[in-house]
């Protein structure tokens, strides 16, 4: 137990912190057993009950209670469980007597040490005597037994377990066994919820077969504590001030802003597009769906056909009506038959009359292994068809062969997906820790810290809580080879990106760019080489490796007012040289790309005449030479004069741009 002493302090502290905020009138006492010293009233009066110490008397919870929990000592001698129960029970009876109220004993033990024999009778008789006293004073007990995995269960431990379960069989205790610090954190309930039935009536199996059942909620969502507004307007001397803040709403007419509209003249309105549609409560009642109260069994199906991840909302427990023998036999017969055949039932539930919705779900048999506990059903709500959202992904078969994965890559990816399954057959990695929520523990502990130190920061997460919030290291170690194989199967290459300026961003290629449509495999190869071997020279000239990027870099630099003009001139010189040195059209595609980039830049910089003059002069000089076919390529890609529609400063109309090459050919003829 010494290894989990910090976790015990945590779960007890959160219980005290919660009472300090929301149940300040509750009374708490602390009893330690297995201590070297002995300090309790029974030892003083009757003798015996050694190594049991009352660390904190039962009194209204305060900071002293929290402090006592933080100073729990480690035991040094074997602890006697029954002695500790008797001392705690005696303290409670002395304190409350016959007054009414909720009384609870919380026992946390490893139950590994032998118990002393009572002066009279057997240990079982002593347990019955204690249970009778607990029933007489309406005292319940929660027993948490911590056993680390791998601990050998000897005869002493088996005897202790049998005695503790005897308390449970007498209906005065609840026994929970845990084997890890994380499960220990959620074993002690900080709030007892009184079970209330959500349904009492008939489970309709058929038109002439009905079973009387009661339905309870098995699980419920733990709500975050309500934080009410606090008013500091009351004088400090007023000890009876409630400090409550009350909010009242007034509804006023738009036509008469000073007039308050009474409730009988108000009606709810709902937006429908730009309009507001008024709907009265009578109209709502007329169209409201009002199913009849009842639970009906619709049919049976294989357990494997119901997917666990489809379960929704809270879990309910169906039990036969208490005291009804026929109902008990009927529920047990159906549940055990379903269990043997590996079946589940589908049911339709309307818990109360006038309920606006219908619960559709699955009934799973819950076979009891305890003699005095009846067989029952668990009920999980299932989604309707429109509640399910399936993600659709495109098949790899629709991609080109160069983009499809190899068999090795496909196998590595499949293994990764299987690794991400946290509930494989026979094992579950994400077992709930008895409903323990780290959020609430952090909230109450930090609230207590802020009350003592208003300027305190949020403390780091404790070691025991990291086991819940972080992945299990053992699981990560087991799956490391799969992750490494995935990395080996997919070769990753760095894609260095040059920082782009605003102009370069606007000049970036898009799917519809003229230069993109003109791209061929040779140009794509140049682009790949440019990525793998980026230029290292200073910006200021246009090179053969990637002339467009060099041009865009010059435009983005703008170190002086003449830099844009210099970029235009360099691009014009480079493009002209490409055409003059072209042999059988080997430079056409690169020249086409340069023309498109220059045209786009001139539109952005509002310099249409720069491009129009360059295009006109180049066409006039080279149209009758060896590169005449290049201008046909320009015409097919719609690279012509910049018109007024594209740049207001242009002197060319859209008609002139469209017929530029035709008019030039006609003039030359």
Given pLDDT bands bounded at 50, 70 and 90, which one contains residue 300?
Answer: very high
Same domain, 257 and 206: yes
Query: Pick from 443, 462, 486: which residue ends a domain?
Result: 486
**In sequence order, which residues have a C-beta less than 8 Å from that of residue 107 and are 6 or more positions away?**
81, 84, 85, 88, 141, 142, 143, 144
In-domain check, residue 525? no
Per-residue burial over 325-349, b if 16 or more Cβ lie within 10 Å, else e, is eebbebbbebbeebbeeebbbbbeb
Q: Considering its fold, how many domains does the chain have in total?
A: 4
Domain-ending residue, one of 134, 168, 187: 187
Residue 205 pLDDT greater than 90, yes or no: yes
Q: Are residues 96 and 225 in the same domain?
A: no
Please answer whether residues 86 and 116 qualify as being in contact, where contact means their C-beta atoms are separated by less than 8 angstroms: no
Task: Report percent pLDDT > 90 for the chain.
Answer: 16
Q: Is residue 541 part of a domain?
A: no
Ramachandran category for residue 629: left, alpha or beta (phi over 0 → left; psi -120 to 50 → alpha)? alpha
* Among 46, 320, 116, 68, CA closest to 203: 320
**pLDDT class of 1 with cuts at 50, 70, 90:** low
Residues 171 and 213 in one domain: no
H-assigned helices in 241-377: 281-287, 325-341
Average pLDDT of the segment spanning 149-170: 83
Q: Indicate if 180 and 197 belong to the same structural domain.
A: no
Q: Give the structural domain span for 19.
A: 2-187
Closest CA to 474 of 434, 436, 427, 412: 427
Domain boundary among the residues 442, 468, 486 is at 486
Do 382 and 482 belong together in one domain? Answer: no
Q: Are residues 261 and 381 in the same domain?
A: yes
Residue 342 lies in a domain: yes
Mean pLDDT (the chain) is: 82
Q: What is the pLDDT of residue 74?
A: 78
Helix axes 588-604, 521-532, angle to 10 degrees: 70
Q: Are residues 13 and 131 in the same domain?
A: yes
Residue 78 predicted with pLDDT over 50:
yes
* Structure tokens, 628: 């005449």
Phi, psi of 469 (to 5 degrees): -85, -20
Give domain status of residue 526, yes or no: no
Of 505, 353, 434, 358, nearest to 180 by C-alpha is 434
Q: Please determine, for residue 41, whether its predicted confidence score (pLDDT) is greater than 80.
A: yes
Higher pLDDT, 116 or 342: 342
Structure tokens at 510: 């898009």
Are 140 and 256 part of one and the same domain?
no
Confidence band, pLDDT 50/70/90 cuts, at residue 663: low
Tokens for 141, please give them: 């007990």
235 and 378 housed in the same domain? yes
Task: Please check whether residue 500 lies inside any domain of the structure.
Answer: no
Query: Looking at the domain assignment, is residue 518 inside a domain?
Result: no
Backbone angles phi, psi at 105, to 5 degrees: -105, 135
Is pLDDT larger for residue 12 or for residue 532?
A: 12
CATH number reported for the structural domain that contains residue 15 in this entry = 3.40.50.410
Q: Which of 68-77, 116-125, 505-514, 550-559 has the lowest mean pLDDT?
A: 505-514
- Size (the chain), residues: 669
Which pLDDT score, from 0 to 100, does residue 192 have? 66
The more confidently predicted of residues 542 and 390 is 542
Is there a contact between 109 and 145 (Cβ–Cβ < 8 Å)?
A: yes
Is residue 602 assigned to a domain? Answer: yes
Say if CB 111 and CB 160 are below 8 A apart: yes
What mean pLDDT do residues 112-121 have?
Answer: 82
CA distance 361 to 379: 7
**What φ, ψ does residue 143 adopt, rounded to 5°?**
-115, 120
The CATH number covering residue 656 comes to 1.25.40.240
Q: Are residues 166 and 205 located together in one domain of the fold?
A: no
Domain with residue 303: its CATH number is 2.40.290.10
Domain-embedded: residue 274: yes
Q: Would you state the pLDDT for residue 321?
A: 94
Query: Do 459 and 555 lie in a common domain?
Result: no
């Amino acid at each position: 137990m010494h290894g989990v002493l910090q976790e015990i302090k945590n779960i007890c502290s959160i219980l005290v912190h919660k009472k300090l905020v929301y149940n300040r009138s509750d009374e708490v006492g602390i009893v330690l057993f297995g201590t070297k010293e002995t300090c309790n009233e029974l030892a003083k009066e009757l003798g015996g009950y050694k190594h049991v110490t009352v660390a904190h008397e039962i009194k209204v919870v305060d900071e002293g209670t929290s402090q006592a929990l933080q100073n729990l000592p480690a035991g040094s001698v074997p602890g006697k469980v029954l002695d500790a129960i008797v001392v705690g029970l005696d303290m409670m009876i002395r304190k409350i007597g016959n007054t009414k109220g909720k009384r609870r004993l919380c026992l946390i033990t490893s139950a590994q040490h032998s118990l002393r024999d009572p002066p009279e009778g057997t240990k079982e008789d002593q347990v019955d005597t204690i249970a009778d006293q607990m029933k007489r004073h309406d005292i319940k007990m929660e027993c948490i037994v911590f056993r680390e995995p791998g601990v050998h269960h000897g005869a002493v431990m088996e005897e202790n377990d049998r005695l503790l379960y005897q308390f449970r069989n007498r209906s005065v205790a609840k026994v929970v066994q845990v084997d890890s610090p994380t499960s220990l954190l959620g074993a002690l309930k900080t709030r007892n919820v009184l079970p209330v039935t959500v349904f009492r009536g008939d489970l309709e199996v058929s038109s002439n077969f009905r079973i009387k059942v009661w339905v309870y909620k098995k699980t419920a969502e733990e709500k975050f504590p309500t934080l009410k507004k606090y008013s500091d307007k009351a004088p400090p001397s007023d000890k009876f001030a409630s400090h409550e803040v009350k909010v009242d709403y007034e509804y006023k007419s738009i036509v008469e802003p000073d007039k308050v509209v009474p409730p009988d003249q108000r009606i709810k309105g709902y937006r429908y597009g730009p309009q507001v549609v008024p709907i009265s409560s009578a109209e709502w009642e007329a169209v409201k769906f009002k199913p009849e109260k009842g639970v009906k069994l619709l049919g049976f199906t294989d357990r494997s056909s119901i997917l666990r991840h489809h379960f929704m909302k809270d879990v309910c427990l169906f039990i036969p009506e208490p005291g009804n023998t026929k109902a008990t036999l009927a529920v047990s017969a159906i549940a055990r038959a379903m269990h043997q055949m590996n079946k589940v039932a589908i049911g339709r539930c309307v818990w109360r009359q006038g309920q606006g919705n219908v619960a559709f779900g699955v009934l799973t048999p819950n076979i009891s292994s305890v003699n005095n506990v009846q067989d029952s059903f668990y009920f999980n709500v299932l989604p309707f068809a429109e509640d399910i959202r399936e993600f659709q992904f495109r098949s790899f078969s629709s991609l080109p062969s160069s983009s499809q994965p190899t068999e090795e890559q496909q196998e590595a990816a499949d293994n990764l997906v299987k690794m991400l399954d946290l509930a494989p057959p026979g094992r579950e990695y994400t077992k709930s820790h008895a409903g323990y929520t780290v959020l609430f523990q952090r909230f109450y502990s930090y609230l207590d810290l802020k009350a003592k130190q208003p300027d305190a920061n949020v403390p780091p997460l404790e070691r025991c809580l990291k086991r819940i919030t972080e992945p299990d290291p053992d699981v990560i170690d087991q799956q490391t080879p799969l992750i490494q194989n995935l990395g080996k199967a997919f070769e990753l290459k760095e894609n260095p990106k040059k920082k782009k300026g605003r102009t370069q961003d606007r000049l970036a290629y898009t799917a519809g760019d003229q230069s993109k449509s003109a791209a061929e495999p040779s140009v794509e190869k140049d682009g790949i080489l440019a990525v793998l071997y980026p230029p290292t020279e200073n910006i200021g000239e246009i090179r053969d490796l990637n002339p467009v990027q060099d041009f865009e870099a010059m435009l983005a630099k703008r170190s002086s007012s003449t830099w844009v003009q210099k970029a235009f001139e360099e691009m014009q010189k480079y493009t002209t040289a490409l055409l003059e040195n072209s042999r059988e059209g080997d430079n056409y595609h690169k020249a086409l790309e340069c023309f498109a980039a220059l045209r786009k830049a001139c539109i952005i910089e509002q310099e249409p005449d720069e491009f129009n003059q360059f295009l006109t002069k180049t066409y006039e000089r080279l149209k009758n030479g060896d590169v005449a076919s290049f201008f046909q390529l320009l015409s097919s890609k719609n690279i012509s004069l910049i018109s007024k529609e594209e740049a207001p400063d242009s002197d060319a109309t859209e008609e002139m741009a469209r017929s530029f090459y035709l008019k030039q050919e006609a003039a030359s003829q």
